[in-house]
Amino acid sequence: MSYDFDLFVIGAGSGGIATARRAAQYGAKVGIVESDRLGGTCVNRGCVPKKLMVYASHFPAAFEESAGYGWTVGESSFDWEKMIVAVNNEVDRLNGIYGRMLDNSEVKLYRGHGKFVDSHTIEIGDQKVTAEKILIAVGGKPVKPDEIPGVEHAITSREIFHVKEQPKRIVIIGGGYIGVEFACILNGLGTEVTMVIRRDKILNGFDDDLRSEIQEAMEKHGIRIITCKPKISIAKKDHGLEITIPGNDGREEIIVADAASLAATGREPNLANLGLENTKVEVVNGAVAVDEYNQTAEEHIYAVGDCTDKINLTPVAINEGRAFADTHFGGQSRQMSYENIPTAVFSTPEAATVGLTEAEAREKYGDAVKVYRSKFRPMYYTLPDKQEKTLMKLIVDTSTNKVVGAHMVGDSAAEIIQGVAIAVKMGATKADFDATVGIHPSSAEEFVTMR
């Protein structure tokens, strides 16, 4: 049978675009459809605009710290609207770049909502296209939990980038990395931040030392963190939003916040109105079910990225997509490895990690685990006389002497762990770390001097 395309991609986020371009480079005829902006969550309402806001939030502390080095900084002020405009202008620029990349790769872009009519046919508005292979790369979306009364009055991480006025007071619901990052951003920019979490600590799933260190620092910086296991509720009033927080002792507290209170309670695959019922594709626990080659139950339909709900990181989606293109169009059969994927939390202080947490390592290796920790004040903070701390941690399986986990909280954690991740991925031993000469004076040298 003859098809319009060798490959058709539903979703032009980071994973979809990377797949389409790689397949086209191998000579495949490729089409792609997107109903929203090119680049997906990361470029438009995730990693990129968020990181720019992180940078903005660090300037007040930098102004203060500069005095310790002899600088006199005059009166400063912050213009929220100017920042938001600048951030979104950069997003617009990146959208243009993605469009040009698709054009240069000769990938045909369709604007609209793509939906399966049958397993080889995609409907886009009033037209239909067919493809021999189809890739689902529709990403995820933020979730507002229905069990919270009044949650419709809260915004999510999607809308925060378009709030026209800076919130003076905000309540952030959720203690995952998105909630933590925005709590730190807004606190740094001068907003009064209250964070409501269900567990005793933020960042469930991360190493416990890392979680404790960040939470302690956040509270020291003025973020109020409340643990609340009963249901909270939100009510819209003339003076703002009233968030009712039931105490574990039965008493209630009402916090008044601006209309921009943020629900950061997780994300889910964006599978609505995709027409999967017209295919054999299976959905398990709300995500597209795939095998180790990202193949669905329909042999010519594949899926990558957040819609499969494996590891929801942009570089993972890109790597999954490129592995698919290499395998099916480049003659290089390979699959994505999910071991030792580094990740970062752009909180203040920043955190980054690769490999196993201490708890995971002890479960896997038992008494063979040895942990090396170092906590210190970096040189930068000595002259400003600030008590900011850096934590570094190596987890070693003593039966092989391999470093199976590395964790850091502190300035430039992501930049440092990216390099450490190469060593961990290659199976470096503690002896390899010890034999590496440190760069002095630097915080990073602590990873090769821990005893």
Q: Same domain for 121 and 157?
A: no
Contact criterion met (CB below 8 Å) for 57 and 140 = no
Separation in Å, CA 160 to CA 80, 338, 404? 12, 31, 37
Tell me if 295 is assigned to some domain: yes
Tokens of 224: 């109020």
Tell me if 338 is assigned to some domain: no
Tell me if 304 is assigned to some domain: yes
Tell me if 444 is assigned to some domain: yes
Task: Indicate if the pLDDT at residue 150 is higher than 90.
Answer: yes
Q: Is beta strand 108-111 parallel, antiparallel or unpaired with respect to 30-34?
A: parallel
Contact criterion met (CB below 8 Å) for 139 and 13 = yes
Provide φ and ψ at 62, rounded to 5°: -65, -40
**In 3-state terms, the chain is what percent helix, strand and coil (to 5)?**
35, 25, 40
Q: Same domain for 302 and 272?
A: yes
Q: Same domain for 58 and 106?
A: yes
Contact criterion met (CB below 8 Å) for 140 and 267 = yes
Q: Same domain for 190 and 286?
A: no
Residues facing residue 141 across a β-bridge? 268
C-alpha 309/C-alpha 306 separation (Å) is 5
pLDDT of 178 reads 96
Residues acting as catalytic residues = 440
Tell me if 335 is assigned to some domain: no
Using pLDDT thresholds of 50, 70 and 90, give the confidence band for residue 190: very high
| Residue pLDDT, tens place only, 308-359 | 999 999 999 999 999 999 999 999 999 999 999 999 999 999 999 999 999 9
Q: Same domain for 169 and 252?
A: yes
DSSP 209-270: HHHHHHHHHHHHTT-EEEE--SPPEEEEETTEEEEEEE-TTS-EEEEEE-TT-EE---EEE-
Helix 80-104, helix 14-25: angle, nearest 10: 20
- When divided into structural domains, the chain yields a total of 3
Using pLDDT thresholds of 50, 70 and 90, give the confidence band for residue 93: very high
Tell me if 112 is assigned to some domain: yes
Q: Same domain for 135 and 277?
A: yes
Q: Same domain for 257 and 274?
A: no
Q: Decide which of 265, 289, 319 is a domain's last residue.
A: 265
- Give me the CATH number covering residue 433: 3.30.390.30
Using pLDDT thresholds of 50, 70 and 90, give the confidence band for residue 167: very high
Q: Same domain for 130 and 163?
A: no
Tell me if 336 is assigned to some domain: no
Q: Is beta strand 192-197 parallel, antiparallel or unpaired with respect to 224-227?
A: parallel
CB atoms within 10 A of CB 314: 22
Tokens of 117: 């009519």
C-alpha 336/C-alpha 277 separation (Å) is 27
Provide φ and ψ at 440, rounded to 5°: -115, 140
pTM comes to: 0.96
**How many helices and strands in the chain, by DSSP H and E?**
10, 23
Q: Which of 255, 287, 244, 249 lies closest to 269 in space, CA to CA?
A: 287
Q: Which of 350, 345, 410 lies closest to 375 in space, CA to CA?
A: 410
Consecutive H or E run containing 109: strand 108-111
Contact criterion met (CB below 8 Å) for 188 and 78 = no
pLDDT of 259 reads 78
Tell me if 256 is assigned to some domain: yes
Sign of the CA dihedral running 361, 367, 370, 371 = positive
Using pLDDT thresholds of 50, 70 and 90, give the confidence band for residue 230: confident
Across the range 184-209, mean pLDDT stands at 97
Across the range 301-308, mean pLDDT stands at 98
Task: Indicate if the pLDDT at residue 122 is higher than 90.
Answer: yes
Q: Decide which of 279, 294, 329 is a domain's last residue.
A: 329
Q: Decide which of 239, 265, 291 is a domain's last residue.
A: 265
C-alpha 72/C-alpha 349 separation (Å) is 25
Using pLDDT thresholds of 50, 70 and 90, give the confidence band for residue 251: confident
Contact criterion met (CB below 8 Å) for 30 and 104 = no
Q: Same domain for 89 and 108?
A: yes
- Give me the CATH number covering residue 179: 3.50.50.60
Q: Same domain for 82 and 167?
A: no
Across the range 266-280, mean pLDDT stands at 97
Using pLDDT thresholds of 50, 70 and 90, give the confidence band for residue 248: confident
Domain around 402: 343-448
Q: Same domain for 165 and 261?
A: yes
Q: Same domain for 245 and 367?
A: no
Single-letter residue type at 376: F
| Residue pLDDT, tens place only, 54-79 | 999 999 999 999 999 999 999 999 99
